[in-house]
Amino acid sequence: MQNVSCPSCGAPVVFKSHASVMAVCEYCKTTVLKDADAVRDMGRMSDVLEDYSPLQIGTSGTYSGTGFTVIGRIQLRYEGGLWNEWHVLCDDGRTAWLSEASGQYTFTFEKDGGEALPSFEDLRPAQSHVLLGQQFFAADIRVADCIGGQGELPFRVGRGWQARVADFRGGKRFLTLDYSESERPKIYAGEAVELDQLKCQLLRDDDTVRDSAGKIRSKVEPLNCPSCGSSVRFVPGVTREIICPSCRAQVDTSARIAVVLDAGHRMAKAETTLELGAQAKIGNAAHEIIGVMKRRDDEGTVWTEYLMYHPRGGFTWLIETDEGWFRTKVLDDWPQWSGGGNAKLGAQNFSKLYDYTAEVVFAAGAFNWLVKAGDKVQVAEFKNGSNRLAAELTEHELTWSLSAPLPPDQIRAWFGTTVKAAKLPPKTSILKIAKYFVYGLLIFNFVPLLFSFGTTWRVLAFAAAAIYIPAWILSLMDREAS
């Protein structure tokens, strides 16, 4: 640990790691560069945008049995969104990176690799590469701008610094090739992690977020559209962009002041079964619909996708198709796939159903990446029983998601009276089912009734009452609840 004074304001600046070459003064935001035994003022670093992240400088936790502490952060922004890279100091003296993007996390260490590595310009999403002796698929290839930094960092960053990075995945394994400093990339390897498994301490709570940024991670807040003035609900720090349902304006919300990107054209709001702002009670947690998108395939089939957000659960999608409803989650643990007609996720084998292009035809609300009508993505869809596995490929990114079917009655139970009943298939009442059972009993026992009417009739009456009366009571309870 090394203590120095900020060359700009004189406040103490602590270098916890000997590997750190720069730090950002906590008080005046001056970039302090450690140069041998001297420190130099490299100018003021931009503030990071306070977002929904529960992490902060000083957060500690455990990874693979070794404790760690967060000592720095770089915030990076690209055309479609932004993410955080948290610099971590482990108790054994090693440094690592805890990457955070849209509620997904990875933990990586710098590795030495002697093999020949591809050039940044030759990389494409979905390509297979053998790196550090293991097979990976290119998942994300980006050029991003550094828009802010905090704490200690192992290399010099500042205004105009760009990151040229490519991410690769294989199962839960994760690897980054960082071309930011030279054509020979640095290698960072590790795995996808859940925040809960890191057993973090000193996470930010709602009060801390409120004091530092005036934005509470657990709330969905209204914003007046800068283009038409209509109120639009969004999650501060979580959603990269909103699309005003009234005037179709694209509004960038990742900066401190909402900026209109494209006024677009006025159009009628699309009719959907669930509306923006509808809340679902799932377990004890309230999930809110913050974005609605309609997409169309090559044959003209249209379906609706609803983006749900919950502070601790992150993002989940509800998909409404002609075949029914599905609940969809973006995967951290990628399936095994060689590009052919079969994919394997855990012990489940999936067979390919379709290859198609999905195009956005309507979008409204808030999203955690830049989305607009006309956006296209290549989709490979696989099936195992009623579950669906989908790979979505764009120019810069490959993602995998897993979908499980949801009965319409579950949608009703979650969203209650906010569901547009006409859009859902009619609910089969428990009373009607009971009636079918009674009719079946009468038909099945028709012959015994002819020969032993008295005895058979008493048994049938008792059985019918046992079936119908509980169904009638449950039907009344269900009617009162709705």
45-71 pLDDT per residue, tens: 445 555 667 889 899 999 999 999 999
pLDDT value at 143 more than 70: yes
* Residues 172 and 232 grouped into a single domain: no
* Residues 399 and 434 grouped into a single domain: no
pLDDT value at 146 more than 70: yes
Is residue 3 situated within a structural domain?
no
Is residue 231 situated within a structural domain?
yes
Average pLDDT, the chain: 78
Q: Which of 351, 289, 343, 298 is nearest to 320 (CA)?
A: 289
The whole-model pTM stands at 0.70
Q: Beta strand pairing status for 324-330 and 95-101?
A: unpaired
Q: Per DSSP, which regions of 171-239 are E strands? A: 173-178, 186-193, 221-224, 231-234
* Residues 230 and 359 grouped into a single domain: yes
Provide mean pLDDT across the span 391-396: 93
* Residues 274 and 383 grouped into a single domain: yes
304-334 pLDDT per residue, tens: 999 888 766 678 899 999 889 999 999 999 9
CA distances (Å), origin 101, targets 18, 44, 181, 272: 28, 26, 22, 29
Tokens of 409: 């009655």
Amino acid letter, residue 157? V
From 423, 445, 467, give the residue that closes a domain.
423
Is residue 30 situated within a structural domain?
no
Is residue 396 situated within a structural domain?
yes
Is residue 203 situated within a structural domain?
no
* Residues 418 and 440 grouped into a single domain: no
- Whole-number Å distance between alpha carbons of 331 and 435: 44
Domain that holds residue 407: 218-423
From 423, 450, 468, give the residue that closes a domain.
423
* Residues 240 and 100 grouped into a single domain: no
Is residue 360 situated within a structural domain?
yes
Residue 29: per-residue pLDDT: 58
Residue 358: per-residue pLDDT: 96
Q: Which of 187, 1, 21, 167 is nearest to 83 (CA)?
A: 167
Contact by Cβ (8 Å): 395, 381: no
pLDDT value at 384 more than 90: yes
28-47 pLDDT per residue, tens: 556 555 554 443 333 444 45
Is residue 61 situated within a structural domain?
yes
* Residues 165 and 266 grouped into a single domain: no
Is residue 270 situated within a structural domain?
yes
* Residues 452 and 320 grouped into a single domain: no
Q: Which stretches within 163-270 are classed as H helix?
A: 206-213
* Residues 240 and 292 grouped into a single domain: yes
Residue 363: per-residue pLDDT: 85
pLDDT value at 213 more than 70: no
* Residues 193 and 222 grouped into a single domain: no
* Residues 258 and 326 grouped into a single domain: yes
Total count of domains within the chain: 3
Q: Given its phi and psi angles, is residue 142 left (phi above 0), alpha (psi -120 to 50 degrees) or beta?
A: beta
Residue 434: per-residue pLDDT: 65
Least confident of 7-11, 108-112, 196-200: 7-11
* Residues 255 and 230 grouped into a single domain: yes
From 407, 423, 439, give the residue that closes a domain.
423
